[in-house]
Amino acid sequence: MIIYTDADACPVKQEIDDLAFRHQLDSYFVFTYAHVSQTSYYSNNIILDSEAEAVDLYIFNHAKTDDIIVTQDNGLAAIVLEKGATALTPRGKTFSKDDINILLIGRYEGIQAKRGKTRIKGPPPLKKEDRERFVESLNQLLKE
C-alpha cells in the first residue's frame, strides 16, 4: 500500500505525513513546480512541470490496487477507483463507485458555468473537525 497525494492544494499534507511515518508506509506528495512546498516531509516529493493534468496523470500511471489517493479532484478519483485504488478527500470522505457519476456531473456543470463566466463558490474553509475526520478515515484505511 502506497499513499499518493494530489498535493498542489492539499490542506492535510502534515496529517498524511504523520500517519505515513507512524505506519512506516511509502507516501508521495505529487506537486507541480508552481506549488512546491519548502516544508520538509517524511513523504517523498514528486515535482512535475506545470502542465495541465500532470499531477493527475502521474498518480493515475503509478497507482495500483490497494493504494490510497488523497485528492479533491473528482476526475482523478474516478479513474483511480477503476484501478482498484481508494480515493479519499481531505475532509475524510471516501469516494465510491456509487456516487462518482453524480460528482462528475457536478464537475461538468461547474466547468460549463465557469465558461459562461458564472462565479462558482469553492468549498468552505477546512475546519478542525474536517481535519479530525480525515485523520480518522485515513487511519482506518491504513489499518485494513
* 144, part of any domain: no
* 95, part of any domain: yes
With 60 as the cut, is the pLDDT of residue 105 above it?
no
For the chain, what is the domain count? 1
CA distance 86 to 91: 14
pLDDT of residue 135: 98
pLDDT of residue 111: 60
Segment 90-118 mean pLDDT = 72
Of 54, 50, 82, 84, the closest CA to residue 67 belongs to 84
User: Residue 52 is part of a domain; what is its CATH number?
Assistant: 3.40.50
Residues 47-66 have pLDDT tens digits of 999 888 899 999 999 999 99
With 80 as the cut, is the pLDDT of residue 46 above it?
yes
pLDDT of residue 44: 94
With 60 as the cut, is the pLDDT of residue 73 above it?
yes
Segment 121-130 mean pLDDT = 85
Q: Among positive and negative, which fits the CA dihedral 67, 139, 87, 8?
A: negative
* 83, part of any domain: yes
What cell was used for 122?
Answer: 469553492
